Structure 1
């Protein structure tokens, strides 16, 4: 099949038999268990409870976590392969998976205490619970240094007050990593990250956002009023929170780049198949040169995005500096996703504008990849800074 041959060009990155097995397992899960009902879940903005449970059972929610803490012990390449395949079908499920893997589990394993890992990471890695990463605020999206949420130091605990916005897994999560300002005079060096459990007095889940895309994932605002957080729930030393957030987001960008890649590739596969089924002016749609050129350009740009994503993942696995590579992968893959999904709708013509053919959903889902975990503009800033670092 043309797409399989295209994807196997990734062997330049020495994909192992294990990698290919992970990719096939994720593809089978997506096609067999995510595809049925995906349009209804999108229409109804219904959280995929059963599908997320299955992701946990299959090991997709703690892929890179050490087996010591209940995870799969896999590398980042395996993770992006799985993210791509799941995103080809359901980006709502893949963003749930991305947040749990890239931000929450990674952050806890890399920087949490042993007690924190035993208490929270083991359950997050197996999917017994899922987590949320709480950085954005009503007045602090891209400007992450301007935290209005405060964690007032009360000697043996913190008193948490503030509001977090656009939180993926906001209602469905059991554990939240909350970034908050403790010492405003120290600016970004006075920020901490606190592990906050659901159900604490003063912790309220706000309204669910009515989103354009990734509608089945639950995105909420979270409100904290005098929430008492033990000092033992602080990750790292006092003032480590901003560095924690930025370092964790660097890895998270690889996950979102893989999601964008999957959205683009899923739309491309549908457009390619449709072009061979639909007839126009007495011949297959694919036989029209205008359509061939669209598909050729889609395939080329998607493959370029794939190579950027694989490169960033490989650098992370080799413990090399991957900051610029991750930003480049997210920037390019998200731009390709937006463009390729629009082209897929165009190839489908009028059918592309109706929900039954999926590509309009891919187009709506693609847009957010240019925004969350750092907008395209922020990625350009990161890349530019790395050029002269």
Structure 2
């Protein structure tokens, strides 16, 4: 596979990595190859994941909330976090989701919008993977339009009482703390709801075809009472959860390049070994055209990720940059995986090879953290100055 990865780097992008970047990338890649890759096929087929065990291993690796400062977080560059996301998603999108929901959603919300006491209580343990978090914004009837959320929080003396439900929540049933967004009389507010709080229950979503190596849950809040100290003091209005989503979407922009790269490298290795008409299928013109098209498309996604990473490192990234990356990279990565599957023929539909697994996972990534249509309209609004959401 390493030879295939080298051949896929037609523009020598690897040469742009400095020593620290390369060391981080190689460290995460080795962990992914040694610990994750040998097990992902079984985890995917069984629809299970040793998430708590892996979270602690990811914590020891230093990738949980790695782009945040203080509280046990590494304070890495945004582009370094992107490199880590690409290596983890090169094994499976579900594994990258575990990391990004923990760090870019749950931890980010506490780090950005929480009180000092909340940060001290949760972030060090979350950075180590000893505590897990989840992010509760999406509801059964409020997905692309979070302003339509029905979950309510009502002030009652020194407490808040929450009622409602959240859906499609990664790590939901595992989380020690849920960041829950709810309507109040003063607008949308964020709350920290601890596991075991009376009236707070979860139920996992089963029978998934995609992201099977990931825990997806429904959160139910039935007269859940939390103290005022559980409210995120800076988590005010919809801009707060949308800001967190931009963090998570940024990880996706990089992560999907890893999934596409892994699918294409697998197809390249297969085509060099699969013989038809007395020679490897890699030697046929139609197959080489596929590889040329797909390799160029892959490098486009990597260039896009690198550019957005540079903007983020410089403090210049804006929501439309993130939408550009998710719109372009997820669509392209999905197309790469689908076409790479065709090179493997019948072998491509089994879990012996990762290609179709990546493709079905990316079907979900295409939809979550802002659907492809939503990012289309973000870009359309930026280009025309007109809002077409309503």
What TM-score, normalized to structure 2?
Answer: 0.94
- Taking the aligned partners of 1:2 and 1:354, their CA distance within structure 2 comes to 21
Alignment match of 2:12 (pick from 9, 13, 19): 9
2:259 aligns with 263
2:49 aligns with 47
Question: Quick check: 2:308–2:317 contact (8 Å CA) kept in 1?
Answer: no
Matched, 1:286 2:282: yes
Question: Quick check: 2:132–2:175 contact (8 Å CA) kept in 1?
Answer: yes
1:209/1:166 CA distance change after superposition, 3 Å: farther
1:252 aligns with 248
Q: How does 1:1-389 map to 2 (within 5 A)?
A: 1=3, 3-4=5-6, 6-7=8-9, 9-10=12-13, 14-49=16-51, 50-66=53-69, 68-183=70-185, 190-237=187-234, 240-388=236-384
Specify the SS of the correspondent of 2:68: coil
Specify the SS of the correspondent of 1:179: strand
1:257/1:321 CA distance change after superposition, 3 Å: closer
Question: Quick check: 1:23–1:81 contact (8 Å CA) kept in 2?
Answer: yes
1:153/1:10 CA distance change after superposition, 3 Å: farther
Question: Quick check: 2:62–2:73 contact (8 Å CA) kept in 1?
Answer: yes
- Taking the aligned partners of 2:244 and 2:111, their CA distance within structure 1 comes to 11
* Count of equivalent residues: 381
- Taking the aligned partners of 2:224 and 2:291, their CA distance within structure 1 comes to 53
Shift of 1:243: 1.1
Gaps of 5+ in 2: 386-390
Question: Which range is displaced more, 1-10 or 276-285?
Answer: 1-10
Shift of 1:149: 0.6
Specify the SS of the correspondent of 1:195: strand
Gaps of 5+ in 1: none
- Taking the aligned partners of 2:14 and 2:353, their CA distance within structure 1 comes to 32
- Taking the aligned partners of 1:209 and 1:168, their CA distance within structure 2 comes to 13
- Taking the aligned partners of 2:158 and 2:238, their CA distance within structure 1 comes to 21
- Taking the aligned partners of 2:146 and 2:227, their CA distance within structure 1 comes to 24
Shift of 1:6: 4.6
Cα shift readout 1:62-109 (whole Å, capped 9, x = no counterpart): 21122x301111011111101101111122111100111211222222
- Taking the aligned partners of 1:171 and 1:51, their CA distance within structure 2 comes to 16
Specify the SS of the correspondent of 1:35: helix
2:388 aligns with none
CA RMSD across the alignment: 1.7
- Taking the aligned partners of 1:63 and 1:284, their CA distance within structure 2 comes to 43
Question: Quick check: 1:207–1:221 contact (8 Å CA) kept in 2?
Answer: yes
Shift of 1:2: 5.1
Question: Which range is displaced more, 165-174 or 42-51?
Answer: 42-51
Specify the SS of the correspondent of 1:335: helix
Question: Quick check: 2:65–2:104 contact (8 Å CA) kept in 1?
Answer: no
Specify the SS of the correspondent of 2:135: strand
Shift of 1:251: 1.8
